[in-house]
Structure 1
Amino acid sequence: MSGKIDRWEKFASSFSNWLNWAAGVGLVAMLSLIVADIIGIKFFKWPIPGAIEMVGFLGVVVTAFAIAYTQVLRGHIQVEFFVMRLPRRAQASIIAFVSLLGMALFALLAWRSYDFAQVLQSTGEVSMTQRIPFYPFVHAIALCCIPVCLVLLVEFLKSVAKAVQK
């Protein structure tokens, strides 16, 4: 069983790392756009039309694409003060339960984001200035929830294995 978990963990980590690189590209694009907009405003009295919208969309890309890798690194806030004082099996059981809840939350988020993206696509909802469609970014949110679920599944399986271990 450990070999399969290790393979899943490696896949989840690799996929999350790839998404994190995409988030990094989005961050560089966002910063470049902001700098170009500021230079355009200050020196040429000409802002980039729709720059605020584009920065918002890039913010979605940066945030959504970085969530899974942050989970791989355990970079999210965890309150461990009480849990760390419990026996090892109890700790593993609580971590398994929390991972299961997280999986349910991100699965729900993926499902509802996908549904919302379908609605946005069918209604043709676009941004005001640049007329950029919203739905690809909401689809990206739904897509980025899947590797988070996978990372949480690996955490769940490892915690269950630790809890039942003698």
Structure 2
Amino acid sequence: MINFLDKISGVLAKILTGLAGFFLVSMMVLACANMVLRAVWVPVQGTYEMMGFLGAVVASFSLAFAQRNKAHIAVGILLARFPAPVRRGADALTNAVSCAFFILAGIETGKWAAFLVQTNEVSETLQIIYHPFVFASAAGCFALAFVLAVDTLKTLTAEKVA
């Protein structure tokens, strides 16, 4: 069962990272177009807003992949001196607490997006609805929480700790 969940988290992380890459390329194209058009004519209207919206989605969609690949920084100097069961417990506890945090972050971000839908909130410059970007950020938080939950289960059921 854990292997199945691990495969799901891997596929989910890859899909979200692919989307994040697409949005990152979109940001680069938008920034370059804005610079060129600013030099020869007029800048692209709403570039700052779109960069903010897309940047939030890129960051949140990249979280699960970073967690799966341990691409974040980890401070293990202190824990390296403890026995394997203590390291395993600390790792499981850290993953579980982080999972709970990102579940709450996803819930609150989703609530905010739902509020934006209710109030028909639009962006200041472009006057577009932006709740889809907020919902996407909430989805990124939930994806990271899922990966952290799977990591917690893998840590608790591991045969031995490296």
Q: Structures share a fold, TM > 0.5?
A: yes
- How many residues in Structure 1 have an aligned counterpart in Structure 2? 161
Unaligned runs of 5+ in 2: none
The CA deviation string for residues 136-161 of structure 1, in whole angstroms up to 9 with x for no partner, is: 11111111122211111111112112
The CA deviation string for residues 26-81 of structure 1, in whole angstroms up to 9 with x for no partner, is: 00000000000000011x23111111111111111211111111111111221111
The alignment's TM-score, normalised by the length of structure 2, stands at: 0.94
Please name the residue that 1:115 is paired with: 111
| 1:1-166 alignment, distance < 5 Å | 4-42=1-39, 44-162=40-158
Give the whole-Å Cα distance in 2 for the aligned partners of 1:117 and 1:51: 22
* Higher deviation after alignment, 129-138 or 102-111: 129-138
In structure 2, give the amino acid aligned to 1:69: F
Give the whole-Å Cα distance in 1 for the aligned partners of 2:54 and 2:145: 23
Task: Quote how far apart the aligned CAs of 1:162 are.
Answer: 3.2
In structure 2, give the amino acid aligned to 1:40: L
Q: Is the 8 A contact 1:89 1:163 kept in 2?
A: no
In structure 2, give the amino acid aligned to 1:63: A
Give the whole-Å Cα distance in 2 for the aligned partners of 1:134 and 1:84: 45
Q: Is the 8 A contact 1:89 1:162 kept in 2?
A: no
Q: Which of structure 1's runs of 4+ aligned residues deviate more than 4 A?
A: none
Task: Quote how far apart the aligned CAs of 1:128 are.
Answer: 1.2
Q: Is the 8 A contact 1:88 1:163 kept in 2?
A: no
Unaligned runs of 5+ in 1: none
* Higher deviation after alignment, 33-42 or 127-136: 127-136
The CA deviation string for residues 60-118 of structure 1, in whole angstroms up to 9 with x for no partner, is: 12111111111111112211111111111111000000011011001001111111111
* Secondary structure of 2:45's aligned partner: coil
* Secondary structure of 1:133's aligned partner: coil
The alignment's TM-score, normalised by the length of structure 1, stands at: 0.92
* Secondary structure of 1:53's aligned partner: helix
